Amino acid sequence: MKGRRRVPVVLAPRGELMDGALRATPIKFMKKRWFLGLARATGHFRAVTIHATSQEESEGIRTLNLGEARVAFAPDLPPRLGTDVGLGDPKTAGSLRVVFVSRIDPKKNLHFALEALRGVQAPVDFEIVGPIGDGAYWAACQQSMATLPGHIRVRHLGPVPHGEILQVFAAHDVFFFPTQAENNGYVILESLLAGCPVLLSDRAPWRGLKELGVGRELPLEDPAAFTAALEELAALGPEEHAALRERAQAYGRERLLASEDVAATRAMFREALA
């Protein structure tokens, strides 16, 4: 009704407005662009604060020109997971246990992971954990799996209960997640909390992982770099990898308890109410 004050709204797109997510499939891209254009034209973004959880997501949302919507940056607050999971079994030098945990669709980029593994010379056990979100995409992944070398063994475990996810990560040597777009990624933090190092694309807002000694973030434009990183991890012996696990878990706990993230979230809600 004209003259009535609108109720403040905080909208959390969770990465769905990032360019990689918008363009993951042509049909979804057109639907999202049509909806955003209609909402902007009809003033639906008035009194709306859009929650961006990374600087990349914030910049991407601003390029969409969503009318009167405000964009507020506050890191995603992780779930209060238990952190008492023990470190997994010692790694065997010269081989690698790799896990991919996410729904299976183009945005999460499983096919890229499979093709990067194709060039790894060391024996690899690759387990895929998550539901099938896109049947056609999964069929393409299966075709890739069928032509992998014999020393690259792949299994799809399907979804697992969330309460068991830390144990899943702890049972592997690395979490391989070459996502095309990620706003923050609870799943990345979960991997670190379990002491499982991460190998990510640079489309996730985690930086300096190599310097921290907990993993790598690499550009999708360089698939060979992912293959080389997997080879390096495979070559690690149990003592070297155990040190990597300990650093990953310590960093995960540090991020879990980051008080500045809580302060940023409170500031965002105060701004929205104002």
Domains along the sequence of the chain with CATH: 9-75+258-273 (no CATH), 96-256 (3.40.50.2000)
pLDDT for position 1: 41
Rounded to whole angstroms, the Cα distance separating 232 from 225 reads 11
Angstrom distance (rounded) from CA 200 to CA 129 = 16
Size of the chain, expressed as the number of residues it contains: 274
Nearest Cα to Cα of residue 180 among 11, 29, 7, 2 = 29
Tens-digit pLDDT string for the chain (274 aa): 454 556 788 877 777 777 666 665 666 667 777 777 777 777 777 778 888 777 777 777 777 777 677 887 877 766 555 555 667 789 999 999 999 999 999 999 999 999 999 999 999 999 999 999 999 999 999 999 999 999 999 999 999 998 889 999 999 999 999 999 887 678 999 999 999 999 999 998 899 999 999 999 999 999 999 999 999 999 999 999 999 999 999 999 888 777 677 777 788 788 777 7
pLDDT of residue 266: 82
Using an 8 Å Cβ cutoff, are 18 and 183 in contact?
A: yes
CA 197/CA 269 separation, integer angstroms: 33
> Distances from the Cα of 62 to the Cαs of 72, 100, 126, 154, 248, in angstroms?
10, 31, 38, 40, 33
Question: Is this prediction's pTM over 0.75?
Answer: no
Provide the edge-to-edge strand list for the sheet that holds 96-101.
Answer: 152-158, 124-129, 96-101, 174-177, 198-201, 215-218
Nearest Cα residue to 126 out of 136, 111, 108? 111
- Please report where in the chains the tokens 């499982």 appear, as a residue: 196
| Whether the Cβ atoms of residue 186 and residue 79 lie closer than 8 Å to each other | yes
Query: 129 pairs with which residues across the strands?
Result: 101, 158
pLDDT in tens, 135-184: 999 999 999 999 999 999 999 999 999 888 999 999 999 999 999 988 76
Q: Are 128 and 155 in contact (CB under 8 A)?
A: yes
Token pair listed for 270: 């105060």
Decide: 49 and 70 in contact? Cβ < 8 Å.
yes
Token representation of residue 136:
């056609």
Tokens of 132: 């099938």
User: Nearest Cα to 212, choosing from 224, 222, 200?
Assistant: 200
Residue 171: closest CA among 217, 117, 129: 129
Rounded-to-integer distance, Cα 248 and Cα 13, Å: 28
The dihedral over CA atoms of 32, 33, 36, 41, expressed in degrees to the nearest 10, equals: -150
